[in-house]
Structure 1
Amino acid sequence: ELAIRGYVESFFNKPDSNVLLGITRAGNVIGGGDWASDRIVPDCMNAWSKGKKVDIRSPQATRPWQHVLEPLSGYLTLAANLTNDSFNHGKAYNFGPTSNQNYPVSELIDEMSKYWKQVKWSDVSKKEAHPHEAELLKLNCDKALFDLDWRPTLEFKETVKMTVEWYKKYYQNKEKSLYNFSIAQINEYIQLAKSRDIAWTKND
């Protein structure tokens, strides 16, 4: 954030600059297509698909879980605002769930288990040394609501369901493309946003 602010102040605040920048931060993103190592959902999906147990380092750590489509809707909302008005230029915004939608890792796993058979995991938080992890992470997204009229669409349970369904589809059809299924999930997300009167779904 400081590096981007430096660029904004040094190069893009001049009267002749035609560049507008937004600074964003997202909550703990989950969703289909994430294969990064040492991330809770990919680790669980990979282990469970092989009938293996997954080791959980911090089951009580609380995180602002959100589906990947949520911050993307925020980024696009900010970009659209920047094309129309320089008011948001150089400002930083958090995109994440509401404060009552933060859940511990253990509850995330419990919710995932509703859509996946043979869930096995063990708490290794006290068995071995691990890098320090904050027990509680939260994001204040009030600024995004106030300036951009942005708010999340999905509830925690919906987020988890969409995420696990994507991986389940993948492991059931490894030889097939998930392009159409991914597009279907995007359309499902858009329809839910419309039904919940989310601002970015409206035509000005």
Structure 2
Amino acid sequence: MSDFWKNKSVMVTGHTGFKGAWLALWLTHLGAKVHGYALDPPTTPSLFEIANIASLLHSDTRADIADLLQLKSVFYQHQPIVIFHLAAQPLVRDSYHYPLETLKTNTLGTTHVLEAAREIESLRAIVVITTDKVYHNKEINHPYSERDSLGGSDMYSASKAAAEIITASYRESFFKNSFVNIATARAGNVIGGGDWAKDRLIPDCITAFESGNPVYLRYPNAIRPWQHVLEPLSGYIKLAEHLVSSDGADYARAWNFGPQPNNEATVALVAEKLAYLWGNNAKIKFYESFENPHEANLLKLDSTEAYKKLGWFPRWSLGEAIDHTVSWYKGWREGADMLNICLEQIAHYKAAKSKRSTGNL
């Protein structure tokens, strides 16, 4: 990875968010000249501020992807080789409260990014990050592959499925005979240090444990494809490298980056492991309510295509992912240099061997 990215201009939208901050950090570590485009960090605290990601960037634009003229101006100014599009409204529950805003950001915002990219002569690849929730989920024990149909029973899922369709349309309509190759990337529930978004399991647990309160689980029996945030990010980086290669058009399509099947676990199991590692009498309670909006209880990904075509494989078991997550938050609690902690975890991840069949916890 390292030689490829050295001195390349790269644009990351959503770089102030959890995944975007980790990606921006990793790309700068690989030698890329990273330009960020996003709103202010969505949470306080945030990984972006705690690890001082801004100090690593070549530029840091605070603006909305709804502003097409601003997007065009920033893209034109920095002439990126690769665009990673992560800016989004990322929460299922928020999509019930703010459906129009969710569609505006996730669907129209993606359209704006693709439209602005049409005018960039330097550009060679775009990786649009969506979600595993783009699939028409029948909640059966069937891992979804890239060939399965799209859907969305909530506005978040629908907005991301629409972004997939729009991306495919732009690829066929405007980029098919160009030097720019476009792919979408779908990943499962990511965990890792630096996430403080509301209504996510790990942040909810850490916030409760820190305050000495029990964490209440809304869907304890829901099965999720858990993975450390570095897993899909490594896939996004590898995918971008393939898109820029001489046969990049062969990779211009949708890709799944999910964990191994043994990394699928219930919300309750992950929370219990987290509480055990945190210690200090961390407590968990189950909370079932008819007022909870619908969220899928069973969702699995099939990443065979990424294994075969990209040579990408998960490196950490679920147990290792949780270990590194807890270690990160404990370091933050103790006042450690979190930029160094992040770099150490990236180094540990890169040194780990790929796992094609791992144990659970």
Q: Answer yes or no: same fold by TM over 0.5.
A: yes
SS of residue in 1 equivalent to 2:346: helix
What amino acid does structure 1 have at the position aligned with 2:266? P
What amino acid does structure 2 have at the position aligned with 1:103? A
2:203 corresponding residue in structure 1: 42
Residue 115 (1) aligns with residue 250 (2): no
Q: Is the 8 A contact 2:191 2:228 kept in 1?
A: yes
Structure 2 unaligned blocks of 5 or more: 1-163, 357-361
What amino acid does structure 2 have at the position aligned with 1:185? Q
Instruction: Write the mapping of 1:22-41 to structure 2, written as runs, cut at 5 A.
Output: 22-41=183-202
Aligned-residue offset at 1:27 = 1.0
Aligned-residue offset at 1:69 = 0.3
1:101 corresponding residue in structure 2: 263
Q: Which of 275, 299, 306 is the aligned partner of 1:144?
A: 306
- Please give the alpha-carbon distance, in whole angstroms, between the structure 2 residues aligned to 1:100 and 1:30: 16
Aligned-residue offset at 1:177 = 3.6
- Please give the alpha-carbon distance, in whole angstroms, between the structure 2 residues aligned to 1:155 and 1:197: 8
2:346 corresponding residue in structure 1: 186
Aligned-residue offset at 1:197 = 8.4
- Please give the alpha-carbon distance, in whole angstroms, between the structure 1 residues aligned to 2:259 and 2:250: 21
Structure 1 unaligned blocks of 5 or more: 199-204
CA distances 1:74-128 after superposition (whole Å, capped 9, x unpaired)? 0111111111122434310000111222000111012112311121121111x45
- Please give the alpha-carbon distance, in whole angstroms, between the structure 1 residues aligned to 2:197 and 2:172: 34
1:8 corresponding residue in structure 2: 171
1:56 corresponding residue in structure 2: 217
Higher relative contact order (CA 8 A, sep 6+): 1
SS of residue in 2 equivalent to 1:58: coil
Q: Is the 8 A contact 1:21 1:90 kept in 2?
A: yes
SS of residue in 2 equivalent to 1:112: helix
Cα 1:197/1:53, change in 2 over 3 Å: closer
Q: Give the aligned CA root-mean-square deviation in angstroms.
A: 1.6
- Please give the alpha-carbon distance, in whole angstroms, between the structure 1 residues aligned to 2:221 and 2:355: 34
- Please give the alpha-carbon distance, in whole angstroms, between the structure 2 residues aligned to 1:128 and 1:114: 29
Residue 92 (1) aligns with residue 254 (2): yes
Cα 1:49/1:94, change in 2 over 3 Å: same
TM-score normalized by structure 2?
A: 0.51
How many residues are aligned here? 191
Q: Which moved more, 1:67-76 or 1:79-88?
A: 79-88
Runs of 4+ that moved beyond 2 A: 86-90
Aligned-residue offset at 1:48 = 0.4
